[in-house]
Amino acid sequence: MDKLIIEGGVKLKGEVIISGAKNSVLPIMAATLLTDDACLIKGVPELRDTNTMVKILRSLGKGVEFNKGMVTVATLKNTNYVADYKLVSTMRASFCVLGPLLGKLKKAKVSLPGGCIIGVRPVDLHLKGIKALGAEISIDSGYVLAKAKKLKGTHIYLGGVYGSSVLATDNVMMAAVLASGKTIIEAAACEPEVVDLAEFLNKMGAKISGHGTPTIEIEGVKHLHGATHTIIPDRIEAGTMILTALITKGDIIIKNVLLRHLGALIDKLEEAGVNIIKTDNSIHVSYKRPLKAVNITTLPYPGFPTDMQAQMMSLMCVTPGITIVTEKIYPDRFMHVAELNRMGAHIQREGPHAIVEGIEKLSGAPVMASDLRASASLALAGLAASGKTSISRIYHLERGYENIESKLEKLGAKIWREKE
């Protein structure tokens, strides 16, 4: 197993191109299960998670080729309906094969999911929506078993304790496209990745409207055909690179960006005193003057994204003043706090809040990544810290950031791998 070594204190400069969105490509790959025709997906990032989804699709009877950012999916045989524990348990997003398997084959057996350890993330909303469409659901030996003679469109409310669920919206939407009649999903997730999936499904012949709003309408169709689609840029990678420029006091041009997906982050950074130069598909961020502390509250899109909370906390650790971070999506998503404190940060956890007292400089230290975004926050802290930082369990980082080391190296970072 490798660990990542970072020698901090370098002002990063240059240009970086953002990859396709991880949280978009995984359900879109799963959606290919809804058709026997070939599909071509472009702009696919080379990630641990995308490679896992390739393996899952192959196990379900698909022929999959993944080369130079393009995934081609074709049906080789009658699709298997069992998504195995060994694959699904490694990646939560793989649970979204439930909807398309049920929609196409009227039966599915999918292992309960795994992924990052960032608190309880139940699948109750997924099952609630699938049941509403007419499926019989049972759980046996760690597997969800779903079957239905026929799925029927209905009115579904998908709001949860902490708001809407992206994956549940994806799963129910994919199950509903081949159901008879109209389905209305209320309290649907509005994230750009949900919109991207809906656009792909519509290219396949689905009839979906309202995506990007809390109410999605789906008119069921009898079958779907193949389609070609290009994945949207990863807004979380883009946001991470923006913060990389700021925390290293650098100057970075970030290309392949959709500005409309970054509104909450940009608004918060402008409140902190950052001057961001924007064009149609790029952002120029440079550190001009000391920033000021700003409070952060994570909310469903278009609010401040929970997937940017840890990285923003790293920036606030070296920003003068007091910051209060409130996590309203995953209240236990603070695994990075202890590790940042090991680097000299002053952070105190109070339930779903973290109180950050900004200091002048972090110090390099051995730290351990607990989840995907926590690993990104530790990398940011390491880039800004004095001395060397070693980050263990970097397989988390590989799940969501394509070629992150080479991208940072091209910007001037002193970063390399060593064996544990």
Catalytic residues: 116
CA distance 205 to 221: 8
Separation of CA 118 from chain center: 13
| Amino acid identity at 383 | L
CA distance 207 to 195: 13
Cα distance from N-terminal residue to C-terminal residue, the chain? 6
Both tokens assigned to 227: 């389609």
CA distance 215 to 192: 14
E-strand spans in 90-135?
A: 107-111
From 248, 242, 244, select the one nearest 267 (Cα to Cα).
242
Angle between helices 166-176 and 192-203 in degrees, nearest 10: 10
Both tokens assigned to 316: 């606030």
* Cβ–Cβ under 8 Å, residues 130 and 165: no
Both tokens assigned to 150: 């026929």
Residue 139: its H or E element: strand 136-140
Both tokens assigned to 311: 């990285």
Residue 367: its H or E element: strand 366-368
